Copies of this chain bind each other. A is one copy, B any other.
Amino acid sequence: MTVLVIGSIALDSLETPFGTAENVLGGAGSYFSLAASTLTAVQLVGVVGSDLDERHLDTLRAHGVDLQGLQRVANGKTFRWKGRYEYDMNVAHTLDTQLNVFGNFQPNLPEAYRETKYVYLANITPRLQLDVLDQVRHPKFVGVDSMNFWIGNPDTKADLTEVIKRVNGVFMNDGEIRQYTGKYNLFEAAREVLALGPQVVLMKKGEHGAAAVSRDGVFVAAAYPLDSVMDPTGAGDSFAGGFMGHLSESGDTSWDGIKRAMIFGSVVASFAVETFGTDGLLKMTRDAIHDRYEVLRQCTMFESLAKPSAAST
């Protein structure tokens, strides 16, 4: 199957304790697309300016990303983000954001995209996310991401609540879900979001992994244990790309399917953060993803006490 993503294509400038990069391909839409494209077909809807080097689009095309829905604004400037990470790379410090052409973005889905069954609304204004929801016809699973900026404003928060009521999966990091619900405990907070209607809440906890909460229970996915994290940019969207990519290829949105998709998310995010920018995603293969899936299984599996071999006292 195919997954449709609406999100930013950006030029990122990054500083981490391990190095810097200037004007590299970034943005939620790019990270998500590259993360998912090893697993499934991807349609990317977004906007770029005339200044975006064609080779960045060639990179996306070379990974099978369909760019039919990409708008290019003549004389416009591409969205730019400049950020720095300190030694504690769980926190990004934004140095500069230039929305540029992204500020007037109006997503308009090509006719062929409107029947796509798996849809990811990356972090844009909730109003635009609602516009996209009005354009897709019979989606099987829609995931949404957001950010503190929209949650902090009562108007955009109200729009976001409307979005949440209409989607299947809500991706939030721990800070965002606490801000949205005003509840400190993550599981309590997740259940409050669930009560609005979605099937599952997907909480990203950076280096500590992710947790899913649904009416079927709680599932905790460990982060893949990496020896070196170079650049956490795009980790959340890469997680979502692995997650949605697997759902789209398996077609299994049951609770067991969601659990497997969480592990794909964790594994795909590990490739994203161990190198600079999108390099890790570009080199990632299906075999490498499957290998890390099994390693992560080894790192988290333990025997039931019910088994005779584990009995004691």
Question: Which of A's residues lie within 8 Å of B, judged by CB?
Answer: 17, 87-89, 184-188, 191, 205, 207-209, 211, 217-223, 225-229, 246, 249-250, 252, 256, 259-260, 262-263, 290, 293-294, 297-306, 310, 312-313
Given contacts A209-B220, A219-B299, A220-B223, 8 further A-B contacts (CB under 8 A): A185-B229, A217-B299, A222-B222, A246-B312, A249-B313, A259-B303, A263-B302, A297-B302
The contact sample of 5 A-B pairs, CB cut-off 8 A, is A87-B184, A187-B225, A209-B220, A259-B302, A294-B304
Query: How many copies of the polypeptide does the oligomer hold?
Result: 2
A304 touches which of B88, B185, B297 (Cβ 8 Å): B297
B219–A260 touching, CB < 8 Å: no
Out of B185, B223, B250, B304, which one reaches A227, CB within 8 Å?
Answer: B185
Collect the chain B residues with CB atoms within 8 Å of residue A218's CB.
225, 299
Given contacts A208-B209, A250-B312, contact A226 B185 (CB under 8 A): yes
Chain B residues positioned under 8 Å from A87 (CB to CB): 184
Decide: A228 and B301 in contact? CB cutoff 8 A. Answer: no
